[in-house]
Amino acid sequence: MGQLAQLVSGTLEGNENMPVKGVSAFDAANPEEITFANSPGYLDRIDETEACAVIVPRTAPQSGNKVLIRVNDPYLALAKISDFFYGGRRVPPGIHPNTTIGPNFVWGENVSIFSGVVIGRNVTLGDNVILHAGVVVGDGVRIGEDTVVHPNVSILENCRIGERVIIHAGSVIGSDGFGFAREQGRYRKIPQIGIVRIDDDVEIGACNAIDRATFGQTWIKRGVKTDNLVHVAHNVVVGENTVLVAQVGIAGSVTIGDQCILAGQAGVGQHLHLGNGVTVGPQAGVTKSVPDGEVVSGTPSIPHRLWLRVSGIISKLPEMKKQLRELERKMDRLEKSQVPSKNE
């Protein structure tokens, strides 16, 4: 227990020698597991959990019978302790015999390649790379050390994947950008000859589609995290430590700054720029560039505080329309009453 408290820079209250064998949810933990409580609903019930210890904020009340680890951020502490128990490599190294490998394949130490993987020509894998079943790696792809690619991911020709990247099942990296020129009522395809570059410490959710650039690169910078079902179009640049939540769609040639958050189902129109620290609310449609630090919501997106006022008015519009019509009728009657007669 003392080791865990030290790991998260926490203050331990209780038996530092109590053994801990794992982490679990508040209501599911057993006496050999640690859990966490952050919200008032759980903090008021600390003594009810079966867990041997609870990670809590520094301001949490004392417990009568639980070991507590007080930290600045319980959720971050949970991540570190969970990684301590469950993180790290858990698959044996080796290349499955049912792997198709092209010429000039270069791989590092402790690589794990599962059944059904297809590797093209001139592919390079760093140390400790894991390719799960059904992964396709196109010609000329380079993948950095400690990267994990989950089942049925396709990384297409010449894309660059950094170190400690995680790509979840079903994602496609390097699909063609959506580029067509109209010719006599029909569409002519514009060859997409760029690449996708994904920097270190990025995590890509399941069923993402990240399109290759028309020219140059589509660039996902260091530390970006994407949820499931995210689409990033050609020549987009996503800044460091930005978060893209489920079903976000980003049109071509958009530039997104560092430390941004795009909430679920948000959409960004093409050729726009989002500054550093921008937050885009859920289902928002961004139709113009957004400066640093701005929070926007709605479609078309507007500053969030203004959107709150607008959304509060929407439900009142039918009654306001009724009142406006009544005022128009009154004004019409008043104007008619003031029209002079022919005898005047």
* CATH code of the domain in which 182 resides: 2.160.10.10
Cα(268)–Cα(244) distance, rounded to whole angstroms? 12
Q: Does 339 fall in a domain? A: no
| The pLDDT of residue 136 is above 70 | yes
pLDDT per residue as tens digits for the range 5-43 = 999 999 999 888 889 999 999 999 999 999 999 989 999
CATH of the domain at 15: 3.40.1390.10
Report the candidate in 8, 13, 14, 25 with the shortest Cα–Cα distance to residue 72.
8
Q: For residues 329 and 120, which has the higher predicted lDDT (pLDDT)?
A: 120
Q: Are residues 11 and 109 in the same domain?
A: no
Residues 78 and 170 in one domain: no
Please check whether residues 118 and 10 belong to one and the same domain: no
Looking at the fold, whether 241 and 108 belong to one and the same domain comes out as yes
Residue 263: inside a domain: yes
CA distance 304 to 63: 40
pLDDT of residue 125: 98
Per-residue pLDDT reduced to its tens digit, 37-96: 998 999 999 989 999 999 999 999 887 788 999 999 999 999 999 999 988 767 899 999
Q: Say whether pLDDT at 344 is over 60.
A: no
Residues 184 and 158 in one domain: yes
- Under 8 Å between Cβ of 39 and 116: no
Domain stops at, among 86, 117, 150: 86
Helix/strand/coil (H/E/C) assignment for every residue in the chain: CHHHHHHCCCEEECCCCCCCCEECCCCCCCCCEEEECCCHHHHCCHHHCCCCEEEEECCCCCCCCCEEEEECCHHHHHHHHHHHHHCCCCCCCEECCCCEECCCCEECCCCEECCCCEECCCCEECCCCEECCCCEECCCCEECCCCEECCCCEECCCCEECCCCEECCCCEEEECCCCEEEECCEEEECCCCCEEEECCCCEECCCCEEECCCCCEEEECCCCEECCCCEECCCCEECCCCEECCCCEECCCCEECCCCEECCCCEECCCCEECCCCEECCCCEECCCECCCCEEECCCCEEHHHHHHHHHHHCCHHHHHHHHHHHHHHHHHHHHHCCCCCCC
Q: How far is CA 94 from CA 149, 169, 257, 331, in A?
A: 15, 21, 39, 85
230 and 295 belong to one structural domain: yes
Specify the number of domains making up the chain: 2
Higher pLDDT, 2 or 98: 98
Q: Residues with catalytic annotation?
A: 234
The CA distances from residue 96 to 88, 93, 114, 119, 193, in Å, are 21, 10, 5, 12, 32
Domain of residue 287, residue span: 94-305
Pair 10, 106 in one domain: no
Q: How many CB atoms lie within 10 A of CB 39?
A: 9
335 within some domain: no
| Amino acid 339: pLDDT | 67
Residue 209 inside a domain? The answer is yes
Is 341 inside any structural domain? no
pLDDT, tens only, 171-204? 999 999 999 999 999 999 999 999 999 999 999 9
Q: Do residues 173 and 141 touch, judged by C-beta distance below 8 A?
A: no
- Total-model pTM: 0.87
Residues 37 and 153 in one domain: no
In a domain, 238, yes or no: yes
When the pLDDT of each residue in the chain is averaged and rounded to a whole number, the result is 94
Domain annotation covers residue 64: yes
Residues 24 and 73 in one domain: yes
Residues 123 and 20 in one domain: no
Cα dihedral sign, 158-242-239-301: positive
Q: Which of 62, 86, 110 is the last residue of a domain?
A: 86
Q: How far apart are CA 180 and CA 6, in angstroms?
A: 57
Answer yes or no: is 147 within a domain. Answer: yes
The pLDDT value given to residue 118: 98
* Same structural domain, 301 and 187: yes
**Which of 7-11, 95-99, 328-332 bottoms out in mean pLDDT, i.e. has the lowest?**
328-332
Could you tell me if 282 and 147 lie in one domain? yes
Q: Which of 244-248, 290-294, 318-322 has the lowest mean pLDDT?
A: 318-322
